[in-house]
């Protein structure tokens, strides 16, 4: 399966140092956008493995940080001119954003980008297909959003496990007496995993009654989670309309 990379670059024709490296890489599909709202809109509609921001250090990192807040599980790197200072370095580290220098030699830049793409390939696990028809609730996220399904289950005080399967991977949400007890998606756990699943618009889900998690990573009531995540989603959509 090809790795899909979204590239945010305001001037992709003339400032194409990293872009030209991707012209030689196999097994990667890239899409180029010129602005952050466009990038957010594309990330909401389609599934990408990572985002690369190319541009001036401060602006690129600001855009990457913004994207990180809306897409916590997304792999993000910035390709920026050298001498960006320790403050930018620290912020990038805090937000788990990789920093590459556009001044590196072609060979080194290529090597680092290849390493990044390779790390994405290692992370991405193909979504397992096939849903057992014996599960008590099965459906498609095109028709019902994750928020609607969870709202319905929490209101009826259900206990069990929701499994969501999409191109981005598999995730699980455990309910106990109508409250979310545990959520996991890749390396994300707890509320950030719930936030991620809220954005999914494609994929399938099923519910298995009675499976309870021993681990508890979410301790807030469902109503609070719902309001917070819907607000976050609104903020993301607002960014698209800017």
Partner 1 sequence: MRDKMLETKLRLLTLQLESWKKLHDLITYGLDKAKPIVSAEQERQFTEIRANLLQETAHIFNELGILSELSGKAMNVLQRGVSVRGVRELSNEDVRRLEAEWNAVFTKLGIAQGQLKSRRKHLAGQNVLSYFFERLFRRPAVAQ
Residues that bind partner 1 (CB under 8 A): 12-14, 16, 19-20, 23-26, 32, 34
Closer to partner 1 by Cβ: residue 34 or 108: 34
Please tell me the distance from the alpha carbon of residue 152 to that of residue 144, in angstroms, as a whole number. 11
- Smallest distance, Å, CB 66 to partner 1? 19
Closer to partner 1 by Cβ: residue 13 or 134: 13
- Smallest distance, Å, CB 20 to partner 1? 6
Closer to partner 1 by Cβ: residue 1 or 90: 1
Closer to partner 1 by Cβ: residue 16 or 172: 16
- Smallest distance, Å, CB 29 to partner 1? 12
Is residue 72 within 8 A of residue 188, CB to CB? The reply is yes
Q: Which of 185, 77, 61, 70 is nearest to 123 (CA)?
A: 185
Closer to partner 1 by Cβ: residue 54 or 191: 54
> Based on C-alpha coordinates, what's the Rg of the chain?
19
- Smallest distance, Å, CB 28 to partner 1? 10
Closer to partner 1 by Cβ: residue 12 or 190: 12
For 20, counting Cβ atoms within 10 Å of its Cβ (0-12 exposed, 13-18 middle, 19+ buried), the class is exposed
Please tell me the distance from the alpha carbon of residue 70 to that of residue 75, in angstroms, as a whole number. 12
For 131, counting Cβ atoms within 10 Å of its Cβ (0-12 exposed, 13-18 middle, 19+ buried), the class is middle
- Smallest distance, Å, CB 241 to partner 1? 9
- Smallest distance, Å, CB 14 to partner 1? 8
């Amino acid at each position: 399966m090809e790795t899909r990379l979204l590239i945010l670059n305001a001037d992709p024709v003339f400032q194409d140092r990293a872009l030209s490296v991707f012209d030689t890489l196999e097994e990667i599909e890239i899409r180029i956008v010129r602005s952050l709202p466009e990038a957010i809109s594309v990330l909401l509609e389609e599934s990408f493995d990572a985002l690369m921001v190319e541009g001036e250090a401060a602006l690129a990192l600001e855009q990457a940080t913004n994207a990180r807040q809306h897409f916590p599980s997304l792999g993000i790197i910035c390709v920026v001119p050298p001498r960006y200072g320790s403050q930018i370095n620290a912020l990038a580290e805090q937000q788990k954003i990789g920093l590459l220098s556009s001044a590196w030699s072609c060979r080194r830049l290529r090597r680092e980008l290849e390493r990044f793409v390779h790390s994405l390939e290692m992370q991405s696990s193909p979504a397992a297909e096939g849903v057992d028809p014996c599960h008590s609730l099965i459906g498609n996220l095109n028709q019902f959003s994750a928020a609607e399904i969870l709202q319905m289950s929490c209101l009826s005080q259900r206990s069990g496990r929701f499994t969501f399967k999409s191109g981005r991977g598999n995730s699980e949400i455990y309910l106990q007496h109508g409250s979310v007890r545990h959520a996991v998606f890749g390396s994300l756990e707890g509320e950030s995993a719930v936030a991620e699943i809220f954005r999914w618009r494609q994929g399938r889900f099923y519910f298995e009654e009675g499976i309870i998690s021993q681990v508890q990573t979410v301790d807030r009531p469902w109503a609070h989670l719902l309001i917070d995540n819907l607000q976050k989603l609104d903020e993301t959509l607002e960014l698209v309309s800017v």
